[in-house]
Amino acid sequence: MAANAADGGADVTIPDRLFAPGELDVLAGKTVTWRNTDTRSHTATSDTDVFDSGHLAPGTAFSTTFRTTGVFPYHCRIHRSMRGVVRVFALILTGTSQPLPPAWAVNLRGVSPAPGSTV
């Protein structure tokens, strides 16, 4: 299940050779910050060259703002098994966390990138 950072920016920590959360949903225009809390250096590098943190020494951070919608898989260039994905949406809706029986109604709430904007 992806972490949802609908209201503000989002942090991804890098503890012990993994990205946490590994999947992140954000709104277009939001900033994601990767913080290396490990004792080793890592990178946060887009699979499609959209962003690259360069080497992140322990205790350092890298931020990038996602201005367009899309799916942005990334990896660590040093430790290839470390992978993550940022999904960027124009609108994020939240509803019930439980499955609904057929014919039941549900109220959805959501946020858009800017108050009053339409999607």
Residue 118 domain flag: no
Residue 116 domain flag: no
Residue 53 domain flag: yes
Whichever domain contains 57, its CATH number is 2.60.40.420
Residue 18 domain flag: yes
Q: Whole-prediction pTM value?
A: 0.79
Say how far apart CA 4 and CA 109 lie, in whole Å.
Answer: 13
Residue 117 domain flag: no
Query: Could you report the per-residue pLDDT of 67-102, keeping only the tens digit for each?
Result: 999 999 999 999 999 999 999 999 877 777 778 788
Could you tell me if 38 and 14 are in contact, meaning their C-beta atoms sit under 8 angstroms apart?
yes
Compute how many other C-beta atoms are within 10 angstroms of the C-beta atom of residue 91.
Answer: 15
pLDDT at 117 over 70: no
Could you tell me if 52 and 46 are in contact, meaning their C-beta atoms sit under 8 angstroms apart?
yes
Name the residue range of residue 94's domain.
3-111
Query: Could you report the per-residue pLDDT of 39-54, keeping only the tens digit for each?
Result: 999 999 999 999 999 9
| Domains in the chain, number | 1
